[in-house]
Amino acid sequence: MRDINDKFSLRLQKLVDMGESGTDIMHGELKNLMLETETKLLDIGDSDDIADKFYNEGRMDALTECYVLTYNLAFALNERIVKNDRND
């Protein structure tokens, strides 16, 4: 059924099956990807591989923006739940 991305990990599927919210899963996975990218950048250091460094710096910027978005979404969704609970 998952033709688009055959690399969906069993770990992520387990979180889905346990009922974790999509924003929580994305937030955690983005954090992992940011750590992986930061490690690559540290390994590159001041080497001559400028293309790899620029690529990973751009990747980190994109991951950070997505991470902030999931963070803000999680709080907005929680605020909506609290508001709806008060109105019941």
% of the chain at pLDDT higher than 70 = 92
Q: Is 30 exposed, middle or buried (0-12, 13-18, 19+ CB in 10 A)?
A: buried
Please check the confidence at residue 3 and state whether its pLDDT lies above 60.
no
Q: Is residue 41 part of a domain?
A: yes
Full residue range of the structural domain in which residue 60 is found: 21-87
Helix, strand, coil content of the chain in percent (nearest 5): 80, 0, 20
Q: Is residue 74 part of a domain?
A: yes
Domain count, the chain: 1
Mean pLDDT, the chain, whole residue set: 88
Q: Are 27 and 67 in contact (CB under 8 A)?
A: yes
The answer for residues whose C-beta is within 8 angstroms of residue 29's C-beta and 6 or more apart is 12
Q: Is residue 67 part of a domain?
A: yes
